[in-house]
């Protein structure tokens, strides 16, 4: 069984790494001629770092990243306050990191190569043909045969379009600009700066290597005019001067849309990451949401591709991940409206009420834990003894291994039953109830440590 992953961005590479870690054959194709070198997405939240660590792709990224501790807000040219993020809480132990998406992709490619898979560049998909037992991708480099296809090829996904999956949504901001500039600026490098002045907004993010990212709404600004626009905005809002155009590393213009795929699966074709959902970059959730999609889909698809599970197991992917995307779309859209201020009344409430409230300790904790994505869970009921089925199990989530874990009393028979159904399973000692933890760190089953109880649970889960 072979899974074809289309798209060698963070989501596609993470999906491929996770599938290979579980023993599934993978091909990765991408329309580009080679790896991207521009930064693009730059926020790696604690959940994203955790996923990369499980996949063996985190490496020294934390040491090469900028750790963010504060978001400093300025209103009308004056400092309004700061929202402290990155502080350890009972839930969150990792900082948020600012690091180029290109660096994240490089780490994932290195890990994928160690697993024996290399990206097939220059392989744009032009069509998808499904049969009863497989899928054929039509590409500019020739046909690609696969048993399953995962479209991770971004907002303009060729796979999604070829599969006939709708992508409804609405525009949020008509024209936004960003630019990465190498400059020495009198701004703190452990903080994101945000300046609002009426309907105007400007933000500055520190990146490794003495680079800063500037972002601002800029209706009607062409890409060639972005350096000049952001240079003026940096002086007007933050009071800092950028020296010359030659210091600009990368500039871009884009529209902010809110879109969600009508379905995450059509037959043997599945979607993940930006191919399934796009939203405002405010809050830094995009890359991290895609990484969450990747690991959730991969363990399911590995079981189905190996014949250990029926394909109804894949239905749980959309059931768990689409609500997460809906929540992220809602939260980032709301944050965009809050920061930009859509009317004079909204801007007054933003400046005088909401920004001051965000600096309160209880609000800071809620904001930080929600942004971390470590609160993401799939439990069907708020009731029951924790951890409940679907809950993240921190002890087994923060690990350098992507695989199943059985926490139960020592029993070769019990562990052998789990391995016979799932493949490689790590068995660790635990008194009391047995816990079966999924490769993505969430609880799959809890019950009496008796073979019959586990056998029944596996039969239901695997649809066998």
Q: CB of 267 within 8 A of CB of 175?
A: no
pLDDT for 229 beyond 80: yes
Q: Are residues 220 and 272 in the same domain?
A: no
Task: Please give the tally of structural domains in the chain.
Answer: 3
pLDDT for 36 beyond 90: no
Q: Are residues 265 and 326 in the same domain?
A: yes
Q: Within a 10 A sphere around the Cβ of 245, how many other Cβ atoms?
A: 11
Domain stops at, among 202, 229, 256: 256
pLDDT for 209 beyond 70: yes
Distance of CA 285 to the CA centre of its chain: 6
CA 61 to CA 344: how far, in whole Å? 42
pLDDT for 243 beyond 80: no
- Predicted confidence at residue 317, as pLDDT, reads 97
Measured in degrees and rounded to the nearest 5, phi and psi for residue 266 equal: -135, 105
Q: How many CA atoms lie within 13 A of 63 on its CB side?
A: 2
pLDDT for 233 beyond 70: yes
The confidence band for 80, taking pLDDT boundaries of 50, 70 and 90, is confident
Measured in degrees and rounded to the nearest 5, phi and psi for residue 303 equal: -70, -40
Q: What percent of the chain has pLDDT over 70?
A: 98
pLDDT for 67 beyond 70: yes
Asked, for residue 86, whether it belongs to a domain, the answer is no
Closest listed residue to residue 296, CA positions, set 368, 377, 372, 370: 377
Asked, for residue 155, whether it belongs to a domain, the answer is yes
The confidence band for 174, taking pLDDT boundaries of 50, 70 and 90, is low
**pLDDT digit string, tens, across residues 403-459:** 999 999 887 888 899 999 999 999 999 888 999 999 999 999 999 999 999 999 999
Give the CATH number of the domain where residue 237 resides. Answer: 3.30.9.10
Print the domain residue range for 187: 170-256
Average pLDDT over residues 165-188: 88
The confidence band for 227, taking pLDDT boundaries of 50, 70 and 90, is very high
Domain stops at, among 256, 289, 311: 256
Q: What percent of the chain has pLDDT over 90?
A: 61
- In 234-314, where does DSSP find H-type helix? 286-305
Query: Which residues sit opposite 84 in a β-bridge?
Result: 70
Q: What is the pTM of this model?
A: 0.94
- Predicted confidence at residue 345, as pLDDT, reads 81
Average pLDDT over residues 63-83: 88
Q: Are residues 56 and 160 in the same domain?
A: yes
- Predicted confidence at residue 397, as pLDDT, reads 87
Asked, for residue 76, whether it belongs to a domain, the answer is no
Q: Are residues 299 and 357 in the same domain?
A: yes
- Predicted confidence at residue 286, as pLDDT, reads 81
**pLDDT digit string, tens, across residues 387-406:** 999 999 999 887 889 999 99
Q: Are residues 347 and 237 in the same domain?
A: no
Burial class (CB in 10 A: 0-12, 13-18, 19+), 441: buried
* CA end-to-end span of the chain: 19
Average pLDDT over residues 24-53: 91
Asked, for residue 450, whether it belongs to a domain, the answer is yes
CA 306 to CA 175: how far, in whole Å? 46
3-class secondary structure, 280: coil
Average pLDDT over residues 200-216: 92
Closest listed residue to residue 407, CA positions, set 391, 422, 433, 428: 428
**pLDDT digit string, tens, across residues 287-334:** 899 999 999 999 999 999 999 999 999 999 999 999 999 988 888 777
Asked, for residue 457, whether it belongs to a domain, the answer is yes
Q: Are residues 200 and 303 in the same domain?
A: no
Q: Are residues 307 and 356 in the same domain?
A: yes
Q: CB of 425 within 8 A of CB of 406?
A: yes
Q: CB of 42 within 8 A of CB of 369?
A: no
Q: Are residues 150 and 29 in the same domain?
A: yes
CA 204 to CA 86: how far, in whole Å? 18
CA 149 to CA 237: how far, in whole Å? 47
pLDDT for 246 beyond 90: no
CA 418 to CA 412: how far, in whole Å? 10
- Predicted confidence at residue 371, as pLDDT, reads 83
- Predicted confidence at residue 113, as pLDDT, reads 98
pLDDT for 244 beyond 80: no
Domain stops at, among 234, 256, 278: 256
What rounded mean pLDDT belongs to the chain?
91
CA 124 to CA 180: how far, in whole Å? 28
**pLDDT digit string, tens, across residues 91-124:** 888 888 888 899 999 999 999 999 999 999 999 9
Asked, for residue 387, whether it belongs to a domain, the answer is no
pLDDT for 338 beyond 80: no
Asked, for residue 420, whether it belongs to a domain, the answer is yes
Q: CB of 219 within 8 A of CB of 249?
A: no
3-class secondary structure, 68: strand
Average pLDDT over residues 176-197: 91
- Predicted confidence at residue 350, as pLDDT, reads 81
Q: CB of 291 within 8 A of CB of 16?
A: no
Q: Are residues 296 and 264 in the same domain?
A: yes
Q: Burial code of 87-126, b = ≥16 C-beta within 10 A, e = fewer?
A: eeeeebebbbbbbbbebbbbbbbebbeebebebeeebebe
């Amino acid at each position: 069984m072979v899974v074809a992953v289309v798209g060698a961005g963070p989501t596609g590479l993470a999906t491929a790494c996770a599938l290979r870690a579980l023993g599934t054959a993978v091909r990765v194709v991408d329309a580009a001629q080679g790896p991207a070198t521009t930064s693009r997405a730059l926020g790696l939240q604690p959940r994203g770092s955790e996923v990369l660590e499980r996949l063996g792709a985190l490496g020294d990224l934390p040491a090469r990243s900028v750790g963010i501790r504060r978001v400093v807000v300025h209103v009308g040219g004056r400092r309004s306050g700061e929202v402290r993020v990155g502080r350890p809480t009972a839930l969150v132990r990792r900082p948020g990191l600012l690091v180029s998406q290109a660096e994240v992709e490089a780490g994932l490619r290195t890990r994928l190569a160690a697993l024996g898979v290399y990206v097939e560049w220059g392989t744009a998909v032009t069509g998808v043909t499904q049969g009863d037992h497989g899928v054929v991708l039509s590409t500019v480099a020739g046909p690609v045969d696969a048993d399953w296809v995962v479209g991770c090829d971004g907002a303009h996904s060729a796979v999604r379009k070829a599969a006939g999956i709708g992508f409804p949504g609405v525009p949020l901001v008509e024209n936004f600009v960003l630019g990465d500039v190498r400059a020495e600026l009198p701004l703190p490098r452990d903080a994101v700066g945000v300046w609002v002045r009426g309907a105007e907004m400007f933000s500055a993010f520190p990146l490794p290597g003495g680079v800063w990212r500037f972002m601002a709404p800029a209706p009607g600004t062409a890409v060639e005019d972005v350096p000049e626009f952001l240079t003026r905005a940096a002086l007007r809002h933050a009071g800092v001067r950028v020296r010359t155009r030659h210091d600009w590393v990368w500039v871009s213009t884009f529209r902010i849309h809110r879109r969600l795929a009508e379905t995450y699966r059509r037959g043997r074709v599945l979607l993940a990451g930006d191919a399934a959902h796009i939203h405002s970059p405010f809050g830094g959730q995009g890359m991290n949401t895609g990484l969450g999609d990747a690991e959730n889909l991969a363990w399911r698809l590995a079981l189905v591709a190996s014949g250990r599970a029926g394909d109804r197991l894949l239905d749980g992917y959309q059931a768990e991940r689409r609500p997460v995307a809906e929540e992220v779309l809602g939260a980032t859209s709301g944050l965009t409206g809050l920061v930009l201020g859509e009317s004079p009344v909204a801007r007054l409430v933003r400046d005088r009420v909401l920004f001051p409230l965000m600096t309160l300790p209880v609000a800071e904790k809620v904001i930080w834990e929600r942004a971390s994505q470590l609160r993401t869970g799939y439990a069907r009921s708020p009731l029951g003894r924790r951890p409940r089925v679907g809950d993240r199990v921190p002890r087994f989530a923060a690990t350098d291994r992507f695989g199943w874990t059985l926490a139960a009393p020592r029993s070769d028979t019990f562990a052998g039953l789990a391995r016979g159904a799932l493949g490689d399973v790590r068995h660790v000692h635990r008194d009391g109830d047995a816990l079966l933890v999924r490769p993505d760190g969430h609880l799959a089953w809890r019950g009496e440590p008796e073979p019959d109880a586990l056998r029944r649970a596996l039969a239901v889960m695997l649809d066998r």
